[in-house]
Structure formats: structure tokens, C-alpha cells
Amino acid sequence: MKVRLTWAVGWLVGLLVASASAQTGGDDVVVARIGTTTITRGELERRMSKIPRIQLATLGSSEAEIRRNFLEKVVLREHLFSLGATDKKLAERPEVQLRLKENLRNALISQLRAQGADPQQIPAEEIARYYEANRDRFQGPERIQVWRILVATREEAQKILDEVKKPGGEARWKEIAREKSLDKATSERGGDLGFLAPDGHSHEVSVKADQALHAAASRLKDGEICPEPVQEEKQWAVLWRRGSQPAIRRPLELEAPAIRGLLARQKLETAVKEATEKLRKELVRDVTYEGLGSVELAPDGQVTPRKHYEVARHKAAGRPQPTPVPNGLRLM
């Protein structure tokens, strides 16, 4: 194999002197032949067009030198390695077959992306419809972060209010909240209700507060404790306005690029899913899930043969048992 490749390289270098410098002719002009493969001017130009100019400049100081070196050092080198891999039958190895499948999968996804997932091809009307359907993501009222200690009576709330005004700050507040607040869902975190909207909805998904709490907190400045207890249905609350988030006003013009990219990704995901389902219906004939018992997924993510499964299988078949080796199991 080494002699064959050495001869091929020498033969090609002689051929390149005449062919790679050709300046006229169409895309079908042959610039090199290697084995049964023909490399044309059109193929060479298409390959070079995908390489950044700054990278091509490293191959030579003139156009002719760049073309020649690209052909010799890139294109021909790849073809020679391909011939060598074919000669050694590398494609028959399981690990190489897996890599080939991965490359084919990536090529199919790239084709699906090129066919319909280009962000620049998303119509403006589609972007506008998405914006309107999700307006609450781009526009919203001011939100106020509220900490609240909830108790049964106004008198108890007043006592707690007097207590939290004393020195101790945040630590003292959290201590009282854990001990006194009836809302056990928030007491362990100091009664933090999150950032409340006027309707009482919080950015914390599991929290929905009385609208009276937001109304009372809206009259305070950030960092102020409400001077009076606030009635919350039949109970009473002590409030502390911890901070605020300004109202959201992000117009369509500002959000259009992000929406365009999001819709493109969604289209690609849909195309990949549809292609997968179609190919699965056409090609998948039999799946034996029982065989998954022979695969063990270790805590560190390594996948190895399940040793006891392999030993039992070989015993049942009357074959020699596997011998442990550093990289798995090997038959004697």
C-alpha cells in the first residue's frame, strides 16, 4: 500500500504541473485523476469557495500557488486517504460505520435546514402572528417583590410589625417568618412571594397572592416596610417591599430577529421529526427491547457489557466464559 500511494503521489505531481495552472475551459476541465476518480475544475472551485479567504491566503502568495497547494495539500490528500481507507477495508469496522452514520445524519439535517429552516426566509407576517400570540412575553406591567408574614389577627400582625421595625433587619424578619407565618409554603424563605403583578400573579409559578398585597406594596418605595397591617381575606399580613422590576415594553421591531431564529429552529425540529417518523415507518422492521438487558449504563455515563448477563449467556450456550480485561469482556 505504501508503494502504491508513493507512486500515485509522484504521478500526480507531474500531472499537476500541466493541469492545476489551467486558466481557461469550463467546469468539466480535468485537473487531476486518481484511481478511477476525476477531479474537475468545477469541483475544485466549489471546494475553494467554502474556505474563508484569510485561510486560503496561508496556502500561497499568488492565485496560481494557492490553487495548486489547495489541490495538492487538501483535495488530493483527502482522495489518497480515502483510497487508503478503502484498501484497508476500514468502512467494514463497526466504529467507522458508526461515524459514517453520524455524518450521514448530520448531512440530512443540514439539508433539511437549507430547505426550509433559513431564518431569513421566515415571512414577516408569521413573525407578527407569533408576537401577538405571545404578547405577554414581550409586554408586561411593573412587578414588585414582596415579603409577607401572614397571621390570624390584626393584633398579632401589629405586634410582629413593631418587632420587625427593631434592629435585626433581614435575619430577624426571616426568623419571625419561620416561627409565625401561617403560609408554610413561603415561611422558610422569609415569606418571599416573588415579584407580583397587579393581578397577584408571581414570577414564581406556584405562587398567587391577594391583589390587595400588590396594591399596598405599590404605595411603598423599594426597601420600605408597610406601616400598617394589610387585610388578606380573613387574615392579616405584614409586608416588606424588597424591590421591583420595571414594566416590560419590547416592540415587535426589537424582538423580530429573536423570533425569526426561534421559528426557524421550530421548523427545523418539525422537519427532523417528520423525516424521522417517515423513515422509521419505511425502514424499521423489528426492535427487540429484550436485548437492552445486556447493556449497562454506569453512573459516569460509560456504556459497558453487563458482566453477569454475558457470563450467564455463555454458560447457557455451553461456551467458555468471558475473561475480564481492562476495556470490557473478551472470550477465551
**How confident is the model over 172-185, as pLDDT tens digits?**
999 999 999 999 98
Is 133's pLDDT higher than 90? yes
CB-based contacts of 63, cutoff 8 Å, min separation 6 = none
Is 108's pLDDT higher than 60? yes
| Section 256-281 average pLDDT | 88
What does residue 28 show for φ and ψ, rounded to 5 degrees? -90, 5
Q: Which segments of the chain are extended strands (E)?
A: 30-34, 37-40, 139-140, 143-151, 192-196, 230-232, 235-245, 248-249, 295-297, 303-305, 322-325, 328-331
Q: Distance (Å, rounded) from C-alpha 254 to C-alpha 131?
A: 11
Is 281's pLDDT higher than 70? yes
Is 91's pLDDT higher than 50? yes
Q: Distance (Å, rounded) from C-alpha 255 to C-alpha 125?
A: 14
C-alpha cell at 115: 430547505
CB-based contacts of 55, cutoff 8 Å, min separation 6 = none
pLDDT tens by residue, 54-82: 999 999 999 989 989 999 899 889 888 88
Quote the pLDDT of residue 153.
95
Q: Is 209 exposed, middle or buried (0-12, 13-18, 19+ CB in 10 A)?
A: buried
pLDDT tens by residue, 21-57: 444 557 888 989 888 888 898 888 888 998 898 999 9
What does residue 234 show for φ and ψ, rounded to 5 degrees? -95, 5
Quote the pLDDT of residue 37.
84
The domain made up of 142-246 has a fold known as Chitinase A; domain 3 (3.10.50)
Q: Which residue pairs, CB below 8 angstroms and at least 24 apart, start in 110-115?
A: 112/268, 112/271, 112/272, 112/275, 113/268, 115/271
| Section 99-104 average pLDDT | 87
Quote the pLDDT of residue 6.
43
| β-bridge partners, 243 | 145
| Section 123-151 average pLDDT | 91
Quote the pLDDT of residue 137.
84
| β-bridge partners, 144 | 196, 244
User: Which amino acid belongs to residue 213?
Assistant: L
Quote the pLDDT of residue 167.
86
| Section 88-95 average pLDDT | 87
- Are 139 and 211 a contacting pair, CB within 8 Å? no
Residue 313's pLDDT band (cuts 50, 70, 90) = low
Residue that is written with C-alpha cell 449467556 in the block: 313
Quote the pLDDT of residue 319.
58
Q: Is 143 exposed, middle or buried (0-12, 13-18, 19+ CB in 10 A)?
A: buried
Percent of the chain with pLDDT over 70: 83
Provide the 3-class DSSP secondary structure of residue 38.
strand
Q: Distance (Å, rounded) from C-alpha 184 to C-alpha 192?
A: 11
Residue 304's pLDDT band (cuts 50, 70, 90) = low
Is 17's pLDDT higher than 50? no
Is 332's pLDDT higher than 70? no
Provide the 3-class DSSP secondary structure of residue 85.
helix
Quote the pLDDT of residue 85.
87
In the chain, residues under CATH classification 3.10.50.40 are 142-246
Q: Between 216 and 203, name the one with better pLDDT.
A: 216
Residue 1's pLDDT band (cuts 50, 70, 90) = very low
Residue 235's pLDDT band (cuts 50, 70, 90) = very high
Write down the pTM of the prediction.
Answer: 0.46
Q: Distance (Å, rounded) from C-alpha 286 to C-alpha 172?
A: 65
User: What is the chain's mean pLDDT, rounded?
Assistant: 82
Ramachandran assignment for 288, one of left (phi > 0), alpha (psi -120 to 50 degrees), beta (any other)? beta
Percent of the chain with pLDDT over 90: 34
